[in-house]
Amino acid sequence: MSIHPSAVIADSAQIGENVSVGPFVVIEEEVIIGDGCVLDAAAQLRRGTTLGSENHIGSGAIIGADPQVIGFDSNINGGVKIGNKNVLREYVTIHRSTSDGEFTVLGSSNYLMTGTHFGHDCIVGDNNTMANNVLLAGHVLMGNNCFVGGASVFHQFVRVADYVMVQGLSGFSLDLPPYVMAAGVNYVAGINSVGLRRAGFDGNARKEIKEAFRMVYRSGKGLKEALEEAGNREWTNEAGAFFDFLHQKSKKGFCIRMEKAKAD
């Protein structure tokens, strides 16, 4: 273990083996840090934050600060839980939950570039990459294997499913179903075919996903009618997941196809 003498560490913090703590790092009460983590200069882990193993926290990152909610009671014991093998670059901020005993959650093997922000109560899965200054408002849910371009923003309670690719400088107040490429403001442009191929989806699975997308976004039918039609045939598990997401109750509604929006 390597701890710089300028670091400030609470007595109640639990630190695993082979952890590196850089200059001016702050580790507050009831923080748990797993084995093999690296905390660069001036990183802060606020009270109630839990890190798994082999995470790298960049300079100036602040994990577990109070949520940006007017009138928030700082005595509420919400926290942040982070899995294993994540990279959080400089000045990443992740705010803690607004509810006692609840957590803002980041899974494992994610790469968050400089300035990425998670608001309170976000839940983000595994193997996601977020470029600089991506902003997730409170309660955003993101699945696995997504790539989000720089300076993209997501409104509170938005859901982003697996294998979504988002163009930089985009904004979303509506849900994004699995496998789509998304751009602009609440638009989907097509299927993330390259990402699916690289992820090992076979040709038949990709074909079925494209057909599912066509049925919902290019058939000219409304969502309800398209889902009813989809229920009349068998689909691969991968394409079925596309329809399953659209069947789920949404607080926000779903993004629309870019060409249709421009035509309207």
The angle formed by the CA atoms of residues 68, 70 and 71, to the nearest 5 degrees, is 120
Round the average pLDDT of the chain to a whole number and report it.
Answer: 97
Q: How many angstroms separate the Cα of 208 from the Cα of each of 2, 201, 233? A: 52, 11, 12
Global pTM reads 0.96
Domains of the chain and any CATH numbers: 2-190 (2.160.10.10), 197-263 (1.20.1180)
> Residue 120 catalytic?
yes
Per DSSP, the residues of the chain read: -EE-TT-EE-TT-EE-TT-EE-TT-EE-TT-EE-TT-EE-TT-EE-TTEEE-SS-EE-TT-EEEEPP--TT--TTS--EEEE-SS-EE-TT-EEEPPSSTT-EEEE-SS-EE-TT-EE-TT-EE-SS-EE-TT-EE-TT-EE-SS-EE-TT-EE-TT-EE-TT-EE-TT-EESSBB-TTEEEETBTEEEEE-HHHHHHTT--HHHHHHHHHHHHHHHTSS--HHHHHHHHTTS---HHHHHHHHHHHS--SS-B-EEHHHHHH-
Query: What percentage of residues in the chain have a pLDDT greater than 70?
Result: 98
pLDDT above 90 for 261:
no
- pLDDT for res 262: 55
Beta bridge partners of 185: 171
pLDDT above 50 for 264:
no
Which candidate in 107, 138, 149, 190 is catalytic?
138
* Bridge-based pairing state of the strands 187-191 and 180-183: antiparallel
Instruction: Extract the tokens encoding 22.
Output: 């850089």
Instruction: Report which residue type is found at 53.
Output: S
pLDDT tens readout for residues 106-143: 999 999 999 999 999 999 999 999 999 999 999 999 99
Name the band, by pLDDT with cuts 50, 70 and 90, for residue 260: low
Instruction: Extract the tokens encoding 153.
Output: 């923003």
pLDDT tens readout for residues 187-244: 999 999 999 999 999 999 999 999 999 999 999 999 999 999 999 999 999 999 999 9
Do 172 and 255 form a contact (C-beta atoms < 8 A)?
A: yes
pLDDT above 90 for 92:
yes
Instruction: Report which residue type is found at 158.
Output: V
> Residue 66 catalytic?
no
> Residue 95 catalytic?
no
Which candidate in 56, 95, 120, 139 is catalytic?
120
- pLDDT for res 227: 96
Name the band, by pLDDT with cuts 50, 70 and 90, for residue 263: very low
- pLDDT for res 258: 83
Q: Distance between CA 123 and CA 140 in Å, rounded? A: 7
213, 234, 216, 236: which is closest to 225 by C-alpha? 216
Which candidate in 40, 121, 126, 162 is catalytic?
121
